[in-house]
Structure 1
């Protein structure tokens, strides 16, 4: 991805140290409301059948499908939205790319992208993601030259399924992943035997972005709300050639 940085340092020294020690950093108000509105509308259009999209996989929540939910109240994930013209402004946004470059270097590629939605009224077992490491899913190395970015399109907290992390766990190895006992979404792997680890819930306001290391232990809870608002999070992964 060709991109010219704006010149000034994006992260200050305390932020850089925090990322190095904890494996993640949250940048508040990182993406503009106007861009978030565009992205949200693009998501809704695709959910409601717009055929002119370039998203590789569109996934439906099985519990909501049984309830005959439709549109954005049924779809819980897009895969590889980076190839869709409607999402390109976000992929190439200075406020996202500049931070990525500061963490891993200037020569970057968007290697994988996901658009995650946690609709209300879903079965809790189908809207959570167990503790895991992203490096488990990717062949790219070295790990220090990979970073994930997540941007909250709506406020996310413990009630509607925010991200949680184990600070400092990125300094450890890549652990064995398997299907957790009793877990309903077999497309997601997790690790066992780490329930005692202290977790930090990453509460984010609309437009906040969290950047994190691929070895960081993290997961997300279910959306326990019953309100009509959708809960959208963008996620994308960069790596350095």
Structure 2
């Protein structure tokens, strides 16, 4: 298991007490703690495996073996492999929203942090892309190969990682817009766009760019892009 996978699993565990995982209307929160733990173990196993392999090469047998469970136990919880990925998608979005809210809480406790809020959020983007790279790549691939078919119900197919995180971007932009001394002059819509664009560029740099990027240089470049998107000087 790689360092990134270890970090991702640790971060996942910290959020389990806060989030009720659901797969649309097909999978509800397990009633028994043991059943819930088994459900989460499948998600953790898939994340670890995706750190080292592609979504298309991942098999249910791999996930079951890594989770130390049975195939029957897997199908008691997930309709198929794509249902598992939808759960990973939901968990990623929930974890990200919780992390964004944590930054807001810290800024409320110490408003001096608002002076470097762009640096904080870019650091979060970078950490997310590094620690959850396997899931993000899997969702990127699923978006290309599992597009909703005509007549499909809402929730079928994959809209892409940007839309999974979009609500958190919108809430954070609204929070920043309510702080008159922070990025004064930027509208909520402009802040929302800048956050979305900067995350997208972070993803491209760290997941699909140079194999060994200079992290400090990437952070500085992303910060410049964020301010350029707002038409502000860095």
TM-score (norm 2): 0.30
Comparing both chains, which one has the higher relative contact order based on Cα–Cα distances under 8 Å and sequence gaps of 6 or more?
A: 1
* Greater fraction of residues in helix: 2
Larger fraction in strand: 1
Q: TM-score, normalised by structure 1?
A: 0.29
**Which has the larger Rg?**
2
